[in-house]
Amino acid sequence: MGVVVAMDGPSGSGKSSTSRGVASRLGLRYLDTGAMYRAMTWWMLEHGVDPTDGDQVAAHVDRPVLVSGTDPARPTITVDGTDVALPIRGPEVTAVVSAVSAVPEVRRRLVREQREIIGDGDIVVEGRDIGTVVAPAAAVKVFLTADPSARAERRSAEHDHADVAATERDLLRRDRLDSRRAAAPLTMAADAHHLDTTPYTLDEVVERVVALVAATRENA
């Protein structure tokens, strides 16, 4: 089986940029599991389902058809054939994605699909429960963190938000929700490599993860 790199951590820690950078450097596929949860949330909102009502969400969980591209240079995601890469990053989805993600039926469906995409490996997978739930046997597990203020500045820059303080408050709110949910909470796997990205550039973080993968392959 090819290598599986599990990249976990909270929002704004650098997961997406690092994961795509590592996948590009090593010629691996890339999967953003967070986009899948956002896509599910977008569908619920579009179809008038209350995203905070777990029973309603569970009743509709099998209806949307999600397709995730795995090219790190141009990751894509569609819902029922519609490109939703941009709308799933909007504030409406961001505000309630944690609620939808906490529904056990949602997690069961998407974890199953994520494992199908992982298949025989050679992929970098980012999310919040990859090393603990989705791919616990991954050869390389990395848990990225960063100072909350640094995370807020990065996220604000990505989305052209002027209010960094508000962004930080929202990130911390999502941390609390994601860490306390009953189904697959945000937590670091016991055998994961913890990397605080605060003092490093993106290239430096990518280089460190690439080195971990190289060392793992040498010792395999």
Phi, then psi, of 139 in degrees rounded to 5: -65, -35
Work out the pLDDT band at 10, boundaries 50, 70, 90: confident
Residue 178 has pLDDT above 80, yes or no: no
Residue 183 has pLDDT above 90, yes or no: no
Domain range for 104 is: 4-219
CA distance 45 to 96: 9
Tallying the residues shown for the chain, one arrives at: 220
CA distance 143 to 96: 24
CA distance 91 to 139: 35
- What is the edge-to-edge ordering of all strands in the sheet holding 123-127? 29-32, 123-127, 4-8, 140-145, 193-196
When divided into structural domains, the chain yields a total of 1
What pLDDT shows up at residue 207? 97
CATH number of the domain residue 111 falls in? 3.40.50.300
Work out the pLDDT band at 159, boundaries 50, 70, 90: low
Contact 102, 182 (CB under 8 A): yes
- What pTM was computed for the model? 0.88
In the chain the first and final C-alpha atoms are separated, in Å, by 11
